[in-house]
Structures are given as structure tokens and as C-alpha cells.
Homo-oligomer: A and B are copies of this chain.
């Protein structure tokens, strides 16, 4: 997994919306996804390409259509390798913050 591709992909509201749309209804075509976005099909394609590059979405051709499926694994990896790292120190970090903000340091 490429951390940077995943974070970059998640760093845009349109792409997060695409993931939301696929979460509601997995396996949608490009056309279906575009109906819920205020942009051209070509722009949406570029966003989807980034999601595919980050391995957050897999695309499969079926006839003249292209179906899109979420891959939840990179999201879990982000959590496991990144969020949890801070999570384990959460109480300590929060204590630091509270202390310094109260001017006790």
C-alpha cells in the first residue's frame, strides 16, 4: 500500500463522496456516479482514477459499462498503521494538551 496515494485520494471531498456513493450502492457505473456529482463525466473519471490508483476502488468493465467497487482494505490499513498509533498515546497526548492550555506548564 502507498500511504501517500491513499491520503491524497481521501483529501478531496468529491472523492470521499464517491466512496460514500459506492458505500450506499456498490458496483455503480461511471454514469450512475456522475448523476450525483456536479461536474462533467471526464472530471469524475479523473477522481475515480485516483481512487483506483490508491486501491480504494476497483473498476471492472462489463460490456460498454464500467463497474466500480470499493476496496475497504486500504482504509483499514490507514487506521491500523496510523490512527491507532496515536490512539495508543491518546490519553497522554490529551493530558499534555490540557495541561499546556491551562497554563500549568
Contacts and interface: CB of A to CB of B under 8 A. Distances in A.
Contacts of A62: 105
A67 interface: yes
Interface of A is mostly: helix
A26 to B, nearest CB: 5
B93 A86 contact: no
Nearest to A22: B93
A82 to B, nearest CB: 8
Interface in A78-102: 78-79, 82-83, 85-87, 89-90, 93-94, 96-97, 100-101
Q: Copy number of this protein in the oligomer? A: 2
A6 to B, nearest CB: 9
Q: Which of A10, A79, A86 gathers the greatest number of chain B CB atoms within 10 Å?
A: A86
A69 B100 contact: yes
A9 to B, nearest CB: 8
